[in-house]
Structure 1
Amino acid sequence: MPPNNTAAWLPSKEVKPLQIGPAPYTPPGPGQIVVKNGAVAINPLDWIKQSLGDMLLGYIKYPFILGADVAGEVIEIGPEVRHIQVGDRIMGYAIATAPDSNNPAEGGFQQYTVIREALAAVIPDSVSYEQACVTPLTLATAAYGLFHQEFLGLDLPKIPARSTKNKALVVTGGASSVGANAVQLAVAAGYEVYSTSSPKNFEFVKKLGASRVFDYHSKTLVMDILAAVGEKELWGAFAVGDGSVEACTEVLRKCPGTRKKFVAFAGAPLPPDRVASTLGLVSYVGAMAWWFGKRALVARMSGVKYRWIDSKDILKEGNVVSRAVFQDFLPRALDAGQFVPAPPPLVVGTGLEKIQEAMDLQMKGVSAQKIVVSL
């Protein structure tokens, strides 16, 4: 007899709040597991989709279950699952909103979620579900941009961390969810990381492993990074945050030791809250298209390549994220304390009914934290 399931549903486009109600329990298929969620985290895509309706991810059919970051206990595994067992504590990237899923069963905002084994990692008892659920989506994004050959193609992370050997990397937005993961992964892979944040988060980013952290608002940011890198070999840049692609492009263009003139960037290049206040939220998609066009022109003129990390990249079968990071690196690194879930969770409350409140809070903006709901 399958367990009873409950979800926080998005019943139709632009409906608020989410509606709490029964949901089907879906058994796992090949290469899938079912997780009883202990905690879920909020990402900007959740409230942006709710606000924009069919202007974003228009292929999604309602009613739907959002949510990408979960942590909990595995209660059932499907055929061809090789690395995870029933009873394991895991963190997982729930991919319901991806085009090749479009399946509410793979959404995180419910009691039982179907997760693909390739995007799940076993966590030690020392890591709580609330801590673990901040990681999966942004870790996958950071790992793909850093290590896949279509992006920066860097050396893979190791335990213990590789020696830097005079290799440098720029990772902007080090206090953000994606940036905090990128800093740690790059350090484990043997790169000296130069990052940015607001001054209040300098120490947090340094604790993650960054050698130097600079104020992203500084008018001398590019020159400061260039001076710090010096004659080291600069192996590209990973850009997170408004204005980061421009700054990274300038650094790579001017640095004499640049080995790879390539910027991998993640997240919304234009903050939705800023667009909402100036253009109206319905103009966000058009503003994004304008931004990409402008960057393409800048890239052609500067000789620096750039590429945005999309979920469809991460979900490619057998990619470096699932093999080298979720399976080989992350469980051992968490156990050894070499990698910590970051940024730390800000727990709004307990229960599915708290998810809308958590989404509203995330929409207002947070710094060096990730909004989490316990289940």
Structure 2
Amino acid sequence: MPAHAAAILPAPRAALTVTTVQTPTPAADEVLVRVRAVAINPVDWVIQGTSRVTYRWLNTPAVLGSDVAGEVVAIGSAVTRFRVGQRVFGLATGTDRGRDPLREGAFQEYTTLVERLTAPIPDDLSDEEAAVFPLGISTAACALFQPQLLGLRMPGDPAPAASRSVVVIWGGSTSVGMNAVQLAHAAGYDVVTTASAKNAETLRGLGADAVVDHRSPTAVADLVAAIGGRPVVGAVALGAGSTDACIDVLARTGGERLAMASTPVSLDSLVGRRRLFPAMLPVFTRIGLGTLRSTLRARRRGIRAAFVWGSSLRDDEMGPRLWGEVVPRMLAEGALRPMPAPLVVGDGLAAVQDALDRQRAGVSAQKVVVRL
């Protein structure tokens, strides 16, 4: 069997180690990709630091990572959209329940991607730029378009002739937020969002109608004023504390749907500890009670709230449409920009652990990327 190098998680909560794993043969609906760039998401260090609790199904050794850009080196028997040698980017879902993290993780020289969650890289886009998209745009699309969440029309669907409706996005300068702003704008909605003052102009350039400072004590009132009586079709909550703020906005504007993409308490404080127990007990208690309290608040106000799982589009009709139609078309039309901008922090698999640590330390309106 051929083999390649991979940055594996050898055991729960361990540092990544570069070693050799077997190179898989793509299944009928998969492409085998030589990985050229990967991007880092918060979920990567959350899995690394808390997997015994948060990802109990994940066996080690495992290859983490969701964001892949590279070129196709082999295709499965049912693949029709790609050819060997073609540059592609896509969503790796190896850490999901029931998947194989050694075949489908991003942080390795070769990985498999399912065809329906893969798109061609345009000639004017670098591998590093393409790598920032997969999980961010997939999560944003789930929040906006899945029927169990906001259930909005997708870009390309006919828009009604009536006055434009508003989508609220709390956390517009995050990876998911920047993609949500672009997708909602392309679908014909007005977008009001939050960000720091330094990122406000960037978000307006992506299509935001109004940007409110999330640090302001009057942020909720400022969003309501920016909405200005227009119908609100829903809100996307990104970042700790965003759920309750979105509930307040929706309650004051008549919106009835909320997509929650963040826990009420960050897990960062747990990841850096030598031991999860007993420190995890108060953290997860706060998360559980906070989520229950927010859900009940939403229900009392007639708001339907549900959590977003960014890779769930692998198993519904929206995923193939997003990756096979919407994303390629928007890129060709210049309606979709690679945001947040890539921040390349190293080359080679040995740099991935440092990249995880860099992302956990905090970046603003940037996405940490490693070239392979």
Q: Normalising by structure 1, report the TM-score.
A: 0.92
- Asked whether the 8 Å contact 1:92–1:136 carries over to 2, the reply is yes
1:59/1:189 CA distance change after superposition, 3 Å:
same
Residue of structure 2 equivalent to 1:305: 304
Residue of structure 2 equivalent to 1:101: 99
- Asked whether the 8 Å contact 1:161–1:188 carries over to 2, the reply is no
Aligned-pair CA distance for 1:217? 1.5
How far does the alpha carbon of each residue in 1:25-61 deviate from its partner, in whole angstroms, 9 at most, with x for none? Answer: 0011021111111100111121122222411211111
Residue of structure 2 equivalent to 1:221: 219
Aligned pairs (5 A) from 1:187-226: 187-226=185-224
Of residues 148, 151, 160 in structure 2, which corresponds to 1:150? 148
Aligned-pair CA distance for 1:3? 5.2
Counterpart of 1:315 in 2: which secondary structure?
helix
Q: Which runs of 5+ in 2 are unaligned?
A: none
Q: Which runs of 5+ in 1 are unaligned?
A: none
Instruction: Supply the distance in 1 between the matched residues of 2:328 and 2:91 (Cα, whole angstroms).
Output: 15
Residue of structure 2 equivalent to 1:237: 235
Instruction: Supply the distance in 2 between the matched residues of 1:287 and 1:201 (Cα, whole angstroms).
Output: 30
Residue of structure 1 equivalent to 2:7: 8
Residue of structure 1 equivalent to 2:330: 333
How far does the alpha carbon of each residue in 1:126-181 deviate from its partner, in whole angstroms, 9 at most, with x for none? Answer: 11110111110111111011111111111111399998942111111111000000
Instruction: Supply the distance in 1 between the matched residues of 2:204 and 2:162 (Cα, whole angstroms).
Output: 16
Residue of structure 2 equivalent to 1:345: 342
Counterpart of 1:264 in 2: which secondary structure?
strand
Counterpart of 2:62 in 1: which secondary structure?
coil
- Asked whether the 8 Å contact 1:161–1:187 carries over to 2, the reply is no
Of residues 62, 65, 69 in structure 1, which corresponds to 2:67? 69
Residue of structure 2 equivalent to 1:363: 360
- Asked whether the 8 Å contact 1:55–1:285 carries over to 2, the reply is no
Instruction: Supply the distance in 1 between the matched residues of 2:249 and 2:147 (Cα, whole angstroms).
Output: 22
1:312/1:211 CA distance change after superposition, 3 Å:
closer
1:187/1:312 CA distance change after superposition, 3 Å:
closer
* AA aligned opposite 1:352: L
Aligned-pair CA distance for 1:321? 2.6
Residue of structure 2 equivalent to 1:270: 265
Percentage identity across paired residues of the two chains:
39
1:314/1:291 CA distance change after superposition, 3 Å:
farther
* AA aligned opposite 2:260: F
- Is 1:288 the counterpart of 2:287? The answer is yes
- Asked whether the 8 Å contact 2:42–2:360 carries over to 1, the reply is yes
Instruction: Supply the distance in 2 between the matched residues of 1:328 and 1:53 (Cα, whole angstroms).
Output: 34
Aligned-pair CA distance for 1:276? 6.4
Residue of structure 1 equivalent to 2:176: 178
How far does the alpha carbon of each residue in 1:152-211 deviate from its partner, in whole angstroms, 9 at most, with x for none? Answer: 111111399998942111111111000000000000000010000111111111111101
How far does the alpha carbon of each residue in 1:86-135 deviate from its partner, in whole angstroms, 9 at most, with x for none? Answer: 22211111001100214311000000011111111112011111011111
- Asked whether the 8 Å contact 1:164–1:190 carries over to 2, the reply is no
Residue of structure 2 equivalent to 1:28: 26
1:136/1:164 CA distance change after superposition, 3 Å:
farther
1:199/1:231 CA distance change after superposition, 3 Å:
same
- Asked whether the 8 Å contact 2:164–2:188 carries over to 1, the reply is no
Instruction: Supply the distance in 2 between the matched residues of 1:281 and 1:179 (Cα, whole angstroms).
Output: 30
Instruction: Supply the distance in 2 between the matched residues of 1:357 and 1:194 (Cα, whole angstroms).
Output: 35
Of residues 249, 252, 269 in structure 1, which corresponds to 2:250? 252
Instruction: Supply the distance in 2 between the matched residues of 1:162 and 1:253 (Cα, whole angstroms).
Output: 24
Aligned-pair CA distance for 1:277? 8.7
Aligned-pair CA distance for 1:281? 6.0
Name the Cα RMSD after superposition. Answer: 2.2
How far does the alpha carbon of each residue in 1:228-286 deviate from its partner, in whole angstroms, 9 at most, with x for none? Answer: 1112111111111122111111111111xx3x401112134422235669998634444
* AA aligned opposite 1:24: Q
- Asked whether the 8 Å contact 1:163–1:190 carries over to 2, the reply is no
Instruction: Supply the distance in 1 between the matched residues of 2:188 and 2:164 (Cα, whole angstroms).
Output: 9
Instruction: Supply the distance in 1 between the matched residues of 2:193 and 2:199 (Cα, whole angstroms).
Output: 11
- Asked whether the 8 Å contact 1:159–1:333 carries over to 2, the reply is no
Instruction: Supply the distance in 1 between the matched residues of 2:41 and 2:74 (Cα, whole angstroms).
Output: 26
Instruction: Supply the distance in 1 between the matched residues of 2:287 and 2:121 (Cα, whole angstroms).
Output: 36
* AA aligned opposite 1:315: R
Aligned-pair CA distance for 1:302? 1.7
Instruction: Supply the distance in 2 between the matched residues of 1:178 and 1:144 (Cα, whole angstroms).
Output: 10
- Asked whether the 8 Å contact 1:3–1:25 carries over to 2, the reply is yes
- Asked whether the 8 Å contact 1:172–1:179 carries over to 2, the reply is yes
Counterpart of 2:181 in 1: which secondary structure?
helix
- Asked whether the 8 Å contact 1:183–1:208 carries over to 2, the reply is yes
Counterpart of 2:244 in 1: which secondary structure?
helix
1:276/1:14 CA distance change after superposition, 3 Å:
closer
